[in-house]
């Protein structure tokens, strides 16, 4: 497994099969061909709320990543967006629009970026096996259980549960070219 990290020192885990590459997705010199060498699938859990206020940082990266995936033969791609990011051609439900305009206002740029990524994948990358996870994350706390794919509900999960879900979902054939949310099983 290979991880690209802007700040590798933040990574608390080490594993003999984990290779950490220091780098930024905004670096034009980032060697995507080298990063994708021998890679079957890519998971992107990227966010820079401040930079995304002025620029579609993630979209610019995904527009470089997708051609590199085609070159290397990497088929699978999971992109983590948010529950407040609207899928192409659909408006968010009114309560979610209100949340986005009020308490989540400072994340609006991030959601616009996520929405541009989804439009790009929808319109220009249908040849790849991508999937978008519209996550709801509330804390960095311990696991609250197993998240499952859900079209109709998004639980407020923890970072660790979303990360585990992303890794599972990457190899779920049923999730290909979907942009569903994730929810804990009832009763949790
Ligand atoms: N947090 C939430 O409450 C929440 C809820 C629902 C959905 N989401 C979605 O989840 C996704 C990730 O958001 P997040 O809140 O997890 O973001 P985050 O915690 O702010 O950062 C995610 C990661 O992106 C890395 N990163 C940022 N800019 C980078 C760059 N230029 N090059 C390489 N790595 C870079 C960060 O590295 P550094 O540590 O170096 O900054 C960090 O490891 C977004 O699409 C967001 O909409 C988040």
Instruction: Give residue 188's pLDDT.
Output: 46
Instruction: Give residue 147's pLDDT.
Output: 97
Indicate which residue's Cα is closest to atom 7 of ligand 1: 82
Radius of gyration over every alpha carbon of the chain, rounded to an integer in angstroms: 16
| Cα-to-chain-centroid distance, residue 24 | 16
- On whether the CB atoms of residues 133 and 78 are closer than 8 A, the answer is yes
Nearest Cα to 44, choosing from 12, 71, 5, 14? 5
Question: How far is ligand 1, taken at its centre, from the CA of residue 180, in Å?
Answer: 19
Residue 68's Cβ-count burial label (10 Å; 0-12, 13-18, 19+) is middle
How far is the C-alpha of 108 from the C-alpha of 101, rounded, in Å? 8
Which DSSP helix (H) or strand (E) runs through 138? Answer: strand 137-139
**Is 110's C-beta closer than 6 angstroms to any atom of ligand 1?**
yes
Nearest Cα to 47, choosing from 88, 79, 91? 79
How far is the C-alpha of 52 from the C-alpha of 78, rounded, in Å? 20
- On whether the CB atoms of residues 121 and 62 are closer than 8 A, the answer is yes
Instruction: Give residue 13's pLDDT.
Output: 85
Write the DSSP assignment of 42-78 as a string of letters: EEE----TTGGGTS-HHHHHHHHHHHHHHHHT--EEE
The stretches in the chain having pLDDT less than 70 are 187-188
Question: How far is ligand 1, taken at its centre, from the CA of residue 48, in Å?
Answer: 6
How far is the C-alpha of 179 from the C-alpha of 57, rounded, in Å? 20
Mutate to test the pocket of ligand 1, among 8, 48, 57, 179 (most ligand atoms within 8 A of CB): 48
Sign of the C-alpha dihedral computed for residues 27, 28, 34 and 35 taken in this order: positive
Question: Which domains, from first to last, does the chain contain?
Answer: 41-184 (3.40.50.720)
């Amino acid at each position: 497994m290979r991880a690209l990290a802007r700040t590798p020192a933040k990574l608390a885990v080490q594993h003999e099969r984990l290779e950490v590459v220091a780098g930024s997705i905004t670096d034009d010199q980032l060697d995507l061909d080298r990063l994708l060498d021998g890679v079957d699938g890519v998971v992107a859990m990227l966010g820079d709320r401040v930079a995304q206020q002025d620029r579609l940082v993630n979209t610019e990266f995904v527009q470089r990543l997708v051609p590199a995936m085609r070159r290397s033969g990497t088929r699978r791609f999971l992109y983590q967006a948010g529950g407040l990011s609207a899928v192409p051609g659909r408006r968010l439900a009114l309560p979610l629009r209100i949340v986005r305009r009020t308490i989540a206002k400072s994340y609006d740029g991030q959601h616009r970026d996520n929405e541009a990524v989804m439009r790009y994948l929808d319109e220009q990358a249908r040849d790849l096996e991508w999937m978008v996870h519209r996550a709801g994350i509330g804390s960095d706390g311990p696991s609250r259980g197993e998240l499952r794919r859900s079209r109709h509900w998004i639980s407020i999960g923890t970072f660790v549960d979303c990360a585990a879900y992303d890794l599972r979902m990457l190899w779920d054939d049923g999730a290909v070219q979907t942009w569903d949310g994730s929810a804990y099983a009832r009763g949790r």
